[in-house]
Structure 1
Amino acid sequence: MGKRRRVAERDKQRSKRGPLVIGLVGVVAVGGALGAYTLYGGDGAAAEDRTSATADHKSVKTGPVSATEIRTTSTAFLTAWQQGRVTQAAAATDDSAAAAKALTGYTKDAHITGVTLTGGTRKGATVPFSVKGTVTYKGKSKPLAYESRLTVVRRAKDGVPLVSWRPSVVHPDLAEGDRLVTGESGTPPVKALDRDGGELTAAKYPSLGTVLDGLREKYGKKAGGAAGIELRVVRKAAKKGADKTPDKTLLTLSEGTPGTVKTTLSPSLQAKAEQRVLTKARSSVVVMRPSTGEILAVANQSHGFNTAFQGSLAPGSTMKIVTSTLLFEKNLAKADKAHPCPKTVKYGGWKFHNDDDFEIKGGTFKGSFARSCNTAFISQAKKLKDSDLTATAQRIYGLSMNNWAIGVPSFDGSVPVQSDAQMAASLIGQGAVRMNPLNMASVVSTAKTGVFHQPYLVSPSVDGRSLAKATRTMSSSTQGQLREVLQYTAAAGTAAEAMAGLGPDDGAKTGSAEVDGQKKPNGWFTAWKGDLAAAGVVQAGGHGGDSAGPIVAALLKAGS
């Protein structure tokens, strides 16, 4: 009788809190987070594990977490979270302070109530779960639903299984330092327009989600709109001198009045770019106008991060455009003059190779560039200062100065001063050199026109901002030679297959960048056709001519 009375009393208390739906377990977990009693159809496994741990407290359990531990820990955490027991839920994680702060803010700042958590089928130690709740603010309410996941790990010091705490457990869009907030949005919405006056939406152009967030962040208050009430991700403050990642709206409780911002995007090229990146996984591309710097299209196959504008990747042999500029300016190479391309070259204690250790005997620099001979560039490292490549990138190409103002957050490339083998590696786009498709589209544009025009998505006339400028232009001799080697590469070099039929006013460069732990290199391609320039990368795509090349060439053809 006493046992039945205790069970009835426990069930009575549970009914007051409301049911927890946990699909992966199928039962209700009650009690404190780590001390939860969970029933598993009578197998007794959870009780046995717990008894073993308490019977010999000096014993520290090691190895992967078991299925029982995953069920017990995840259920305890989700139970406590759903029931609003923040302290217990946080105690079930490996960072209780951070978890408590986030879960408290979930109710206090995000105003999310009536939460129901439903677990899914675990995969390894990771448990997916769905979240349903209600967002309420100043008399306005809307339902909220999304998917998230958690991972159970073993704490090293005592072997206790815990939820590995990440902000993304609370919501998948949260990163370290971000917060969920519901209220009158600090920034009014904007209606973004293409260059022809048509509206740009993420529904029509999926790649523009982050771009539209960035436009709102920068122009919302300037465009004349009025803020609405929203649940949004408020991003952490940016480091000094860096662009803050735009806040993201998750749910709109009441619409604000949008202001209008016109962009330089071409609706036809944007639509084509969206289509082309779907042909290759992890691909990104940018199209721009060399004569003005106007950005005409930007697309990423994956829409979670804008790699095209904000990526930071080694550009591989596409960087040889900048290096060639340096060599031409210092009279260390001439397009039509003989230039060494041995199988290997040693510098700074490293041995540098060409693809398949090929060599060109008695060839010209133009031939080495077109075939992407690494040693033709590394062989000149001993004649260069450590700062030479950095100076060329900054002064002629406007890179690596952190001063571009395109209208939304962007990464302006990085070409740090290096020495010894790392300096040599940077000459062929490896080492610490980092770029993205926006940067490389700008590089080929500068090579084509001889003058750096900072890329931009919103005209500076909209807000009076200043665009970055190069401190000097390349010589006419250098420009002529650059055009010659790029045109030859498009006609008879590694870019010829992708660029077939686009001549005569065209030029291109391929690239492949090795990445540690990655089976295939990142494939790069940058090219111009008339007054269009484009650059693309396919991460882990292999040779740039085969992976990124068809994407870039198709866009140049479409815009011609």
Structure 2
Amino acid sequence: MRSGVKVAVVGGVFAVVVGGVGYGAYNVLDGLGNSGVGGGSDTKATSTEVKTGPVTEEEIAETSKAFLAAWAKGDAAVAAELTNNKGDAEPALAGYSASAHVTRALITPGPATGSKVPYTVKATVSYEGRTKPWTYASELTVVRGLTTGRPLVDWVPSVIHPELGKGESLETGESKTASIEAVDRNGNVLTKEKYPSLGGILDELRKKYGQKAGGTTGIETWINSANADGVDKTLLTLVKGKPGRLRTTLDAGIQAAAESAVKKYAESSVAAVEPSTGAIRAIANNRADGYDAARKASVAPGSTMKIVTAAMIIQNGLGSADSPVECPSSLTWMGVPFHNLNNFDMSNPTLKTAFARSCNTAFIKPIKPLDDKDKADTALGDEASRYFGIGQNWQTGIVTVDGSVPPSQGAETAASFIGQGKVQMNPLNMASITATAVNGQFLQPYIVPRDLDNRKFAVASRLPGGVSAQLKEMLHYTATWNQGTATAAMAGVSENKGGKTGSAEIDGHATSDSWFTGFSNDLAAAALVQSGGHGGDAAGPIVAAVLRAGQ
């Protein structure tokens, strides 16, 4: 609300069930006098004894009541005193009216769950004669003060709004960036309401290309990013700017399939690219933290990295798709043991069948000769960078994190050959690796045309003759052989297909990350399900669903 506007709690609008967890609604209206509701008096200590132990149901009810009443009253100082971080809470609460320009709000608490009290906010935002309703839900948690023993609201910015993070603030005014109407490659309009995973991407595209696309600014409520180079997030539009039309490489049909597929698995992400062009066709995530892991994660990719390891083996003359290899149940490298899943072994396999069964030892033992030549520690990173474009500062049009295969030493070198150690990837990186294997030439992924801002694309050397054909054969065999680890997941995908599973062990996690990458015709995709287990069980069905959508 603007400076100078008086607010007060409407008498009799709120109530609390004594000893219970149900409340009435707290109502903020402009132009009214003081209701007489005190701020924080209910939570003042009545003795010098410092209480300990969990907060009681009564303390939760009374503290949340007092806090919400003070916030509704517009008394930021009193509300902040009822939190465990007055210094951060007071300016944030004051900004709700002064910067976000909220002129009316009805706060309705719901039943508490333990120490958490949820509530809905029905607000009105007003700016320069323009008003619009704004509804959302959030929650607070009551904790015991460490030094005072008082029950206090555990202060986090999300108390004010669920999407508000540390160092961020709410603001209403003329938008900083011009509006866009993003469309897919076929001209279909892309919105964050229809494709929730694209929310952050559309905000980035607007910031970067809104003016270039010919858009104009509007009046909005947004979250100011805590990072000076970050992207502000629009929460409410009071007056729309004229959108500039921005064509992307995304495919609405494939994006819809990706959005639907990740919903079936918690902590999942997927990305899809076109091997013949590098065009990004879909990016989707389903994560509790809202993080866009599909393009920003840096985690071990497990056995999906064997695509690059296989290329390195072939190019260094250490084997070929049909050459014999050894697959013992375990082996040691620099005194450190490495095992296959459940300690399985294979009798007289080829590199192709070892790839299809995902034999770890078969992708470590052949490389030992390079260790004698002092090349093993850097060979995988050289292969990934020179031929697969990994770590070459991709300029996709949005923020993406490059994969990383740094030099390693000792046992970490062997671990890197099977996608562990220091190797770090995300689904977009792995989709690109698969696309390169199939196409024979790395083409940097991108989401808007290069000529839009004349950015420089990363480049890499073409895979030497025959290498791509062997990699494609190995991927196809893994997805069609009756013992291939990718066969079950890829059963419903067209015959021109291939895949690779991966399971990455993460320190401190009881269950491994599930990875899967694959291709069908001119589409490659990769998925990650953190703590999802075997690659074919969780990530595999996600990739298969995306590939089927592209058929």
TM-score band w.r.t. shorter chain: 0.7 to 0.9
Residue 538 of structure 2 corresponds to residue 550 of structure 1:
no
The corresponding residue for 2:213 is 223
Write out aligned runs for 1:11-50 (5 A): 19-20=13-14, 24-26=21-23, 30-33=37-40, 35-36=41-42, 50=45
The corresponding residue for 1:479 is 468
**Hey, what's the Cα distance between the residues in 2 that align with 1:302 and 1:134?**
30
Compared with structure 1, are the counterparts of its residues 529 and 55 closer, same or farther at alpha carbon in structure 2 (3 Å cutoff)?
A: closer
8 Å Cα contact 1:415/1:434 also seen in 2 = yes
The corresponding residue for 1:539 is 530
- What is the TM-score of this pair, normalised by structure 1? 0.85
Match of 1:298 among 268, 274, 283: 283
The corresponding residue for 2:94 is 104
Partner letter of residue 397 of structure 1? Answer: F
Match of 1:330 among 316, 320, 326: 316
Residue 78 of structure 2 corresponds to residue 92 of structure 1:
no
The corresponding residue for 1:134 is 124
Residue 233 of structure 2 corresponds to residue 248 of structure 1:
yes
- Give unmatched runs, 5+ long, in structure 1: 1-12, 38-46, 239-243
8 Å Cα contact 1:322/1:393 also seen in 2 = yes
**Hey, what's the Cα distance between the residues in 2 that align with 1:22 and 1:421?**
62
Compared with structure 1, are the counterparts of its residues 264 and 546 closer, same or farther at alpha carbon in structure 2 (3 Å cutoff)?
A: same
- Give unmatched runs, 5+ long, in structure 2: 1-6, 27-35
8 Å Cα contact 2:267/2:530 also seen in 1 = yes
Q: Shift in Å at residue 482 of structure 1?
A: 2.1
3-state SS of paired residue (1:168):
helix
Q: Shift in Å at residue 89 of structure 1?
A: 1.7
Identity across the alignment (%):
48
8 Å Cα contact 1:193/1:199 also seen in 2 = yes
**Hey, what's the Cα distance between the residues in 2 that align with 1:504 and 1:203?**
35
8 Å Cα contact 1:153/1:163 also seen in 2 = yes
Q: Shift in Å at residue 519 of structure 1?
A: 4.6
Deviates more, 1:23-32 or 1:136-145: 23-32
Residue 516 of structure 2 corresponds to residue 525 of structure 1:
yes
Match of 1:344 among 330, 334, 338: 330
Partner letter of residue 446 of structure 2? Answer: Y
8 Å Cα contact 2:9/2:72 also seen in 1 = no
Compared with structure 1, are the counterparts of its residues 171 and 121 closer, same or farther at alpha carbon in structure 2 (3 Å cutoff)?
A: same
1:339-385 deviations in whole A, cap 9, x for unaligned? 23222233456432211111123322222211111222344468254
The corresponding residue for 1:40 is none
The corresponding residue for 2:31 is none
- What is the TM-score of this pair, normalised by structure 2? 0.87
Compared with structure 1, are the counterparts of its residues 400 and 157 closer, same or farther at alpha carbon in structure 2 (3 Å cutoff)?
A: farther
Match of 2:185 among 168, 192, 195: 195
Write out aligned runs for 1:403-422 (5 A): 403-422=393-412
Write out aligned runs for 1:152-163 (5 A): 152-163=142-153
8 Å Cα contact 1:181/1:231 also seen in 2 = yes
8 Å Cα contact 1:20/1:116 also seen in 2 = no
Runs of 4+ residues over 6 Å off in structure 1 = 13-18
The corresponding residue for 2:379 is 388
Q: Shift in Å at residue 80 of structure 1?
A: 1.9
Q: Shift in Å at residue 477 of structure 1?
A: 4.3
Residue 258 of structure 2 corresponds to residue 267 of structure 1:
no
**Hey, what's the Cα distance between the residues in 2 that align with 1:459 and 1:400?**
21
**Hey, what's the Cα distance between the residues in 1 that align with 2:463 and 2:543?**
26
Match of 1:490 among 479, 498, 507: 479
Q: Shift in Å at residue 183 of structure 1?
A: 0.5
Partner letter of residue 499 of structure 1? Answer: M
Residue 238 of structure 2 corresponds to residue 234 of structure 1:
no
Partner letter of residue 454 of structure 1? Answer: Q
Deviates more, 1:132-141 or 1:22-31: 22-31
Compared with structure 1, are the counterparts of its residues 131 and 363 closer, same or farther at alpha carbon in structure 2 (3 Å cutoff)?
A: same
Compared with structure 1, are the counterparts of its residues 141 and 500 closer, same or farther at alpha carbon in structure 2 (3 Å cutoff)?
A: closer
3-state SS of paired residue (2:84):
coil
**Hey, what's the Cα distance between the residues in 2 that align with 1:374 and 1:30?**
68
Q: Shift in Å at residue 161 of structure 1?
A: 3.0
8 Å Cα contact 2:23/2:110 also seen in 1 = no
Write out aligned runs for 1:362-373 (5 A): 362-373=348-359
The corresponding residue for 1:467 is 457
3-state SS of paired residue (2:400):
coil
Aligned length: 524
1:147-172 deviations in whole A, cap 9, x for unaligned? 11112223334433322221111111
Partner letter of residue 232 of structure 1? Answer: W
**Hey, what's the Cα distance between the residues in 2 that align with 1:32 and 1:378?**
67
3-state SS of paired residue (1:142):
strand
